[in-house]
Amino acid sequence: MLFKKSEAPAEMLPAVQVVSGGVYFGIIKTASPIRIEGDFKGIIFCTNKVIIDKKASVNGDILCHDIVIGGMIEGNVICKNKCSLNEDAIVNGIVRTSKFENGENSSVTGPVYVNKDNMNIDVDEYYELFNKKETLEKIKAEYFSLPQKLILIS
């Protein structure tokens, strides 16, 4: 037989995209890759890759598998695998990851914890911790006073 029967390709998950223009608020929990191009306020739980564009900003915590930061984050980044800061990227918070890479003129104002044990981080466990009614009410009260677009993705 000259040709091998190929297996069906793995299912590709659709990407979640927060586009520029306006302020988006919410809690995103997804297994799909995420690209933030605008302003987002809230919490991101992603078992895939998160990309923060150069002109984007995130005000809140991010828990993910991999992250590439080009813009600014006001919050903590908990990354199971690799955290990369591009040139001029800013994180005002704590970074916890198993691999860390930073570009020229990038900065982190809090401590950076790089440890192979961070590969054991369970994003779903953190989601259950944050997904308490009191936490959601506090986030909602703080951000709903601003003009914005609501995003709730699960």
The secondary structure element, H or E, covering residue 81 is: strand 77-85
% pLDDT > 70, the chain: 72
Query: Tell me: the pLDDT tens digits for 20-54?
Result: 777 788 888 888 999 999 899 888 989 999 999 99
Output Rg (C-alpha) for the chain, integer angstroms.
17
Domain boundaries, the chain: 16-123
Taking only the tens place, the pLDDT of each residue in 92-116 is 999 999 999 999 999 999 999 998 8
Quote the CA–CA distance of 36 and 55 in Å, as a whole number. 9
Q: How far apart are CA 106 and CA 86, in angstroms?
A: 7
Q: What is the pTM of this model?
A: 0.76
Asked if 40 and 146 touch (Cβ cutoff 8 Å), the reply is no
